[in-house]
Amino acid sequence: MDTLTTWSVLVLTFPTENATARMRVWRALKAKGCVVLRDGIYLLPHTTEREDEMRELANGIDEAGGTAHLLRAQSLNASQEEDFRALFDRHDDYVAFVESLGAARKTLGGLPPAEVTRLLRRLRKDYDAIRTIDYFPGAASTDAEIAWEDFMALADTVLSPGEPHAAERAIRPLRREDYQARTWATRRRLWVDRVASAWLIHRFIDPKARFLWLTSPDACPPDALGFDFDGAAFTHVGERVTFEVLLASFGLDEDAALLRLGEMVHALDVGGAPVPEAIGFEAVMAGARQRASDDDQLLDEMSRVLDSIYAHFASSAKNSNTGGRS
């Protein structure tokens, strides 16, 4: 092992009669992912932030009538390093979490949307709690991440049924002036392709667009322009996702920044070449989706995010064309 870890070491004692304070400290140490070297000696991989948290905890111990000493030490050799790291192994925690996902999958299809959302929130909290204290991720971490992504994808099919299949047809060029002040409709519980497409419609195609969020594609009114579901006016065509089809249909595919956005949406919706910004966008989208009270609010919030990413891509494209000169 090439690098030896620096550790924060907390040595503490408590009067035997102060059981309440002892339990409070034990819970705080457990929440931080500390491990016990022996009774009263706790270990944590050192960072400045963690050391500050441990110092605050040590001060609280002193104030409660105990004694606490915070030390910093490095592993003596590779063997000790390996032994210490093994104490932080979260394998069993990840296995239990994956098992809980398996149990949840069996009931997911029969739950109402509100229950699915609550279940996702609880499971995400459990998953984040493990990852936060997994200081030396290994294979179990990777397996849990894959299982979590699969579970979220399954939950999304419950929350947003009707994911479109790719149509095989030509993409006709259309005039934007023929598509003004129209009603546009897509499936509720917006996700990446739908929220990006709605943003594109409002920002570049139909500034006075009115949006309907459908409980089912079958509920689309005959006079509405559907997008991103089977049979919609605008949906997946060949290898292109709905956002890319809209770009091609309305002659927006000469905008380098929009093309870059299309690559990001494509990667997140159906896979493909990785786009560095995609991971951050997906995280923001997932958080916004949990916080938003409805799809109107979600679109409003994510539109600001997409405006910013578009500006970033436009600036990058401009700098590339000018060789970096401003």
Choose the weakest-confidence range: 110-124, 204-218, 226-240, 275-289.
Answer: 110-124
Residue 258: domain span: 176-321
pLDDT at 82 over 60: yes
Q: Do 278 and 290 belong to one domain?
A: yes
If asked whether residues 281 and 197 sit together in one domain, one would say yes
Q: How confident is the model at residue 2, as a pLDDT? A: 65
Q: Of all helices (H) and strands (E), which one includes residue 35?
A: strand 35-38
Q: What is the DSSP letter of 178?
A: G
Q: How far apart are CA 197 and CA 241, in angstroms?
A: 10
Do 292 and 213 lie in one domain? The reply is: yes
Please indicate, yes or no, whether residues 180 and 220 belong to a single structural domain of this protein.
yes
Last residue of a domain, one of 53, 87, 121: 87
Q: Sign of the CA dihedral 125, 130, 132, 133?
A: positive
State the total domains in the chain. 3
The pLDDT tens digits for 120-174 are 889 999 999 999 999 999 999 999 999 998 888 788 777 766 678 888 889 999 9
Regarding whether 195 and 248 lie in a shared domain, the answer is: yes
* pTM, to two decimals: 0.56
In a domain? residue 167: no
Question: pLDDT class for 326, splitting at 50, 70, 90?
Answer: very low
What order do you get walking across the sheet with 41-45 strand by strand? 35-38, 41-45, 6-13, 67-74
Q: What is the pLDDT of residue 323?
A: 60
**H helical segments located in the chain:** 19-31, 48-63, 78-87, 91-108, 113-132, 139-159, 192-200, 242-249, 256-270, 276-291, 295-321
Find the mean pLDDT for residues 175-192.
Answer: 95
Answer whether residue 326 is part of any domain: no
Query: What distance in Å separates the CA atoms of residue 299 and residue 294, rounded to the nearest whole number?
Result: 9
